[in-house]
Chains A and B, each alone.
Chain A
Amino acid sequence: RKEVEQDPGPFNVPEGATVAFNCTYSNSASQSFFWYRQDCRKEPKLLMSVYSSGNEDGRFTAQLNRASQYISLLIRDSKLSDSATYLCVVNRGGSYIPTFGRGTSLIVHP
């Protein structure tokens, strides 16, 4: 099993739709979890951290399920500008080493 796995997509959704991505991880000792957004030919940018209690930032909601070892990202009321690749990041437990998933591509169309 890969350390961090994501469905590459693409997820092709209309404006206004709700879309959800999952990301599974293999290291049960992992302590830190993040979602990043990467636009074409640009550097990844932090979208949000993922906390055990779940967290919300506007239209974006992140959840962590430690028992099943996955994190999720929910985007409500999708905008055209949400089109990007979403990267899941899991830090190896007790180390400085982040592991990136290969990303999930989202295309929001009119």
Chain B
Amino acid sequence: SQTIHQWPATLVQPVGSPLSLECTVEGTSNPNLYWYRQAAGRGLQLLFYSVGIGQISSEVPQNLSASRPQDRQFILSSKKLLLSDSGFYLCAWAGPQETQYFGPGTRLLVL
């Protein structure tokens, strides 16, 4: 069966520091992968999606970037965090009809 891992679960970072969040998927090949952010009391905002290694599409202009160095690895990064980057970051892979299956998420607090 497919499983999706994200780490860390919680992260507290100072403004201006770099960020790297990792997501890995097991049990499937060449999945479509997604990064979302959910700010407190807000809906899910799609940040990036990837249909294959090295292929990244950005949904919104922002302070973040994404990379897919391996088939089942998706990384979200920032060179300098802003206060507004705080939120709940979720990675997902897509099943049939693009059904989204989410990892446990990383809760990021930028101070």
Contacts and interface: CB of A to CB of B under 8 A. Distances in A.
Q: Indicate whether A and B interact.
A: yes
Interface residues of A, number: 22
Interface in B75-100: 88, 90, 94, 97-100
A46 B93 CA distance: 12
Nearest to B42: A102
A42 B51 CA distance: 25
A91 interface: yes
Interface stretch (A11-19, A76-84, A92-100): A92-100
Contact of A44 (B49, B51, B102): B102
B42 A43 contact: no
Main secondary structure of the interface of B (DSSP, over half): strand
B43 A102 contact: yes
Nearest to A89: B100
Category for how many chain B residues contact A: 20 to 34
Interface string B37-67: 0000011101001010000000100000000
Contacts of A32: 97-99
A96 B94 contact: yes
Nearest to A45: B102
A70 to B, nearest CB: 17
Contacts of A46: 99-101
15 contacts: A31-B97, A32-B98, A34-B100, A43-B103, A44-B100, A45-B102, A46-B100, A46-B101, A96-B51, A97-B59, A98-B46, A100-B43, A102-B42, A102-B43, A103-B43
Interface of B: 32, 34, 36, 42-44, 46, 49, 51, 59, 88, 90, 94, 97-105, 107
Given A96-B32, A100-B43, 4 more contacts: A34-B100, A44-B102, A46-B100, A91-B98
